[in-house]
Amino acid sequence: MNTARTYYHRVVLSQSESYLHLLAVLAVQNMNACNAVEKSHEIEFQALEGSLNMMSKGWFETTLPERFTDADVCAVVLNDVLDLWVCFSKVL
């Protein structure tokens, strides 16, 4: 049984971060619509999709009680992007 508590951290993006977020959301939607993600990469893709969805809602869910800064949240999303990129670069 998972007893980890869930914490929610508010996300406030700057204008430039908002543009990058929108670009990432559109890229994810495009990849999903084109079926560009192989089965072996679905976990990384879903992690990125989930992170972007949480940022779109203005909050970020973690199991860590520490206060997350907006830079921390962006770093989590960037990590998801890099994980997916590593998977794709192995294919290319």
pLDDT at 13 over 60: yes
Domain tally for the chain? 1
81: pLDDT confidence band, cut at 50, 70 and 90? Answer: confident
Is residue 42 in some structural domain? yes
2: pLDDT confidence band, cut at 50, 70 and 90? Answer: low
Indicate the angle between helix axes 15-33 and 70-91, nearest 10 degrees: 30
Q: What is the span of the domain harbouring residue 49?
A: 7-91
1: pLDDT confidence band, cut at 50, 70 and 90? Answer: low
Instruction: State the pTM of this model.
Output: 0.65
Is residue 87 in some structural domain? yes
